[in-house]
Amino acid sequence: MKEFGYERPAHPTDALAMIAGVAGARFLGGGTNLVDLMKLGVETPAVLIDVTALPYDFVTDDADGGLRVGSGTRNSDLAAHLAVRRRYPALAQAVLAGASGQLRNMATVGGNLLQRTRCPYFQDVTKPCNKRVPDSGCPARDGEHHNLAILGGSDLCIATNPSDMAVALAAFDAVVFVEEPAGPRAVPIADFYRLPADEPQRETTLEPGALITAVALPALPWAANSRYRKARERASYSFAIGSVAVALDVADGMVRDVRIALGAVAPIPWRAYRAEQSLRGQPATEVAFREAADAELEWAQPLRDNRYKVPLVRNLMVRTLIELVQAS
Q: Residue numbers of the site for ligand SF4 (CB under 6 A)? A: 117, 119, 121-122, 129-131, 138-140, 148, 157-159, 200
Core vs surface per residue 83-104: b (16+ CB within 10 A) or e: ebbebbbbbbbbbbbbbeeeeb
Shortest CB 211 distance to ligand SF4, Å: 25
Whats the size of the chain, residue-wise?
328
Q: Collapsing DSSP states into helix, strand and coil, what is residue 319? A: helix
Q: What is the dihedral of CA 291, 295, 299, 304, to 10 degrees?
A: -10
Q: Which does 147 bind (CB under 5 to 8 A by kind): ligand FAD, ligand SF4, none?
A: none
Nearer to ligand SF4, 140 or 297 (CB): 140
Q: Which does 163 bind (CB under 5 to 8 A by kind): ligand SF4, ligand FAD, none?
A: ligand FAD
Stretch that binds ligand FAD, among 6-14, 128-136, 188-196, 236-244 (CB under 6 A): 236-244
Nearer to ligand FAD, 216 or 284 (CB): 216
Shortest CB 75 distance to ligand FAD, Å: 6
Cα distances (Å, whole numbers) of residue 71 to 108, 116, 166, 295, 303: 7, 17, 13, 35, 36
- Of residues 73, 147, 163, 320, which one binds ligand FAD by CB under 6 A? 163
Q: How many CB atoms lie within 10 A of CB 9?
A: 17
Q: Collapsing DSSP states into helix, strand and coil, what is residue 213? A: strand
Nearer to ligand FAD, 98 or 242 (CB): 98
Stretch that binds ligand FAD, among 98-106, 184-192, 195-203, 217-225 (CB under 6 A): 98-106
- Listing DSSP states for 62-84 in one string gives -TTS-EEEETT-BHHHHHH-HHH
Nearer to ligand FAD, 9 or 31 (CB): 31
Shortest CB 42 distance to ligand FAD, Å: 11
- Of residues 73, 93, 108, 278, which one binds ligand FAD by CB under 6 A? 108
| CB-based contact 187:166 (threshold 8 Å) | no
Q: Which does 239 bind (CB under 5 to 8 A by kind): ligand FAD, ligand SF4, none?
A: ligand FAD
Shortest CB 121 distance to ligand SF4, Å: 3
98 binds ligand FAD (CB under 6 A): yes
* CA-wise closest residue to 122 among 267, 310, 270, 300: 267
- For residue 63, count CB atoms less than 10 angstroms from its CB and return exposed for 0-12, middle for 13-18, buried for 19 or more: exposed
Rounded Cα distance between 210 and 203, Å, is 13
71 binds ligand FAD (CB under 6 A): yes
Nearer to ligand FAD, 153 or 269 (CB): 269
- C-alpha torsion sign, points 172, 213, 58, 67: negative
Would you tell me which residues interact with ligand FAD (CB under 6 A)?
A: 26-34, 36, 51, 71, 75, 98-99, 103, 106-108, 110-112, 114-115, 162-165, 211-212, 237-239
